[in-house]
Structure 1
Amino acid sequence: MIDPRFVFLGALLSLAGSTRYAWLTWRGRTQPNRVTWFLWALAPAVGFAAQVDEGVGLPAVLTASIALGPALIFAASWTNAGAYWRVRRADLACGAVSLVALWLWLALDQPVAAVMAAVVADLVAGLPTVWKAWVFPETEHWAVYALGGGNGVIALLSLERWTVAGAAFPLYIAVLGTGVALVVTLRAPAGRLVGG
């Protein structure tokens, strides 16, 4: 275990990646999927509330930071007409499933169930962007995902005790962030990697 205050470093890393992505979106160099980024702001907000309810402590800072970053990106997507990805029916279906998973938290009012619902909601909300990163990696930027994944690793390492409520979301973020960063980096055509 590392000092729990390291979660603030993780949060800063995540916010740095999100700020860079928002800047690139504003400039029209990345094209976020609005369904994904809206729900990526909403689902962690639910997870954060559940973690606070469960008394997780400082590792919940990870979850709060990954709610704020996507909110910045979602807002930036409205500033440039060419800076967003066209929403498809599949995206809306993923969004609907994600919202149902979030609704479960409200219906169950159980902290562990809420964190698991937030993970499912976040994952399903992210499927359109994972698909887009695989097929059109040049519309994405690797850093937001890599730094978010690093945030997840730091949060995991700072856990004083391992519980489902405390570990599920950071573990998921570490795996998703690392995976998407690798997809974007390895699949982008030579010379087309956004932001280098």
Structure 2
Amino acid sequence: MNLMLDRQVLGALSITLAIVASAPYIHSTLRGVTRPHLCSWMTWAVVTTVVFFAQLQSQGGIGAWPTGVSALLTIFVALLAWRKRGDVMVSRMDWAFLLASLSSLPLWYLAEDPLSAVIMLTTVDVLGFGPTLRKAYHQPQSEPAVFYALVAMRNLTAILALEHHSLTTVLFPAVLGWVCLVILGLLLWRRAALAPAQAKEFR
């Protein structure tokens, strides 16, 4: 009973972190300060939605719901990215990531195994960070660092809230959390590296 209650608390905390992380990002996007990469967010929207249903099928229970909430938030940001056209540099590789994420649906259906879909989607999701990593390196001020810190924390609490831990339920949030920490480190490093040059421009 206490264990179930703890998972409910962790699940609620994870959902709260997802909302808290996304709210300023969405607000910043609406103001035109943050420019989300269209294909990255479309890819993540598809990936997160499919992983949510895969976690449910694999008895993820309460711990799957933060992924579901994240899927809704990601879809909304993808719609904003489309409306705002934040990053118009969409390459063939970007579209390839999106098509690869969509191809996971027939793979799941044919294999009748959510793990196959989750492995493919996790790979696609990591590759989908390519455009954002490139932008974070060249334009570190265009991405809010706190967003990635909160997402990493959200994924940790979501893993702890899972009712059933298996490769299918844990792989995606664990890898995504690690990637968010990499982006966070990249943003902080590049901002520090560019700070002296930017200071000279304002003199």
TM-score (norm 1): 0.85
Of the candidates 40, 45, 48, which is equivalent to residue 36 of structure 1?
40
CA contact (8 A) 1:47 1:115 kept: yes
For 1:175, give the aligned amino acid. Answer: W
Aligned partner of 2:195 in structure 1 is: 190
Taking a change above 3 Å as real, the CA distance of residues 72 and 144 of structure 1, as seen in their structure-2 partners, is: farther
Name the larger-Rg structure: 2
Structure-2 separation of matches of 1:110 and 1:177: 27
Aligned partner of 2:69 in structure 1 is: 65
Aligned partner of 2:180 in structure 1 is: 177
Structure 1, unpaired ranges of 5+: none
Q: Does 1:107 align with 2:134?
A: no
Structure 2, unpaired ranges of 5+: 199-203
Aligned partner of 2:201 in structure 1 is: none
Aligned partner of 1:168 in structure 2 is: 171
Identity of aligned residues (%): 28
Shift of 1:35: 0.5
CA contact (8 A) 1:23 1:76 kept: no
Root-mean-square deviation (Å): 2.3
Q: Give CA-to-partner distance per residue, 1:81-118, whole Å, 9 cap, x none.
A: 5x335212332233233333454223322122222222
Greater fraction helix: 2
Equivalent pairs counted in the alignment come to: 191
- Bigger shift: 146-155 or 108-117? 108-117
Structure-2 separation of matches of 1:96 and 1:12: 31
Taking a change above 3 Å as real, the CA distance of residues 152 and 36 of structure 1, as seen in their structure-2 partners, is: same
Aligned partner of 2:89 in structure 1 is: 86
Structure-2 separation of matches of 1:80 and 1:170: 28
